[in-house]
Structure 1
Amino acid sequence: MLGWALTFLIIALVAAVLGFGGIAGAAAGIAKIIFVVFAVLLLISLLANALRGRPPRA
């Protein structure tokens, strides 16, 4: 998912350099949304792993 965010960020930068303002803005918006979703899922995953813990070995 982070790869998709980086892909849309690159698309936005290329579109901005070429002067396509609407496409650049849309791609940048999509990249931001995907990055936030990625960050939230990462935090949930880290918390779930920390709370689950590991049982002691016998």
Structure 2
Amino acid sequence: MGKYRPPKHVRIGRGAVSCQRCGSHDAVIRKYGLNLCRQCFRELAVSLGFRKYM
């Protein structure tokens, strides 16, 4: 066969966490267990109860 290794599962870093809503890997807010990217957070902030974005 040949020297082939399957890709390792990503456990740490940006690739390990994705947005729950759109699947994006960049600018993910994990605080309070949100796991949303910043764009999705801005859209949902008011419904989540964050007063700053009203």
Choose between structure 1 and 2: higher strand proportion: 2
Larger Rg: 1
Structure 1 or 2: more helix by fraction: 1
Q: Structure 2 length normalisation: TM-score?
A: 0.23
TM-score computed with the length of structure 1 as normaliser:
0.23
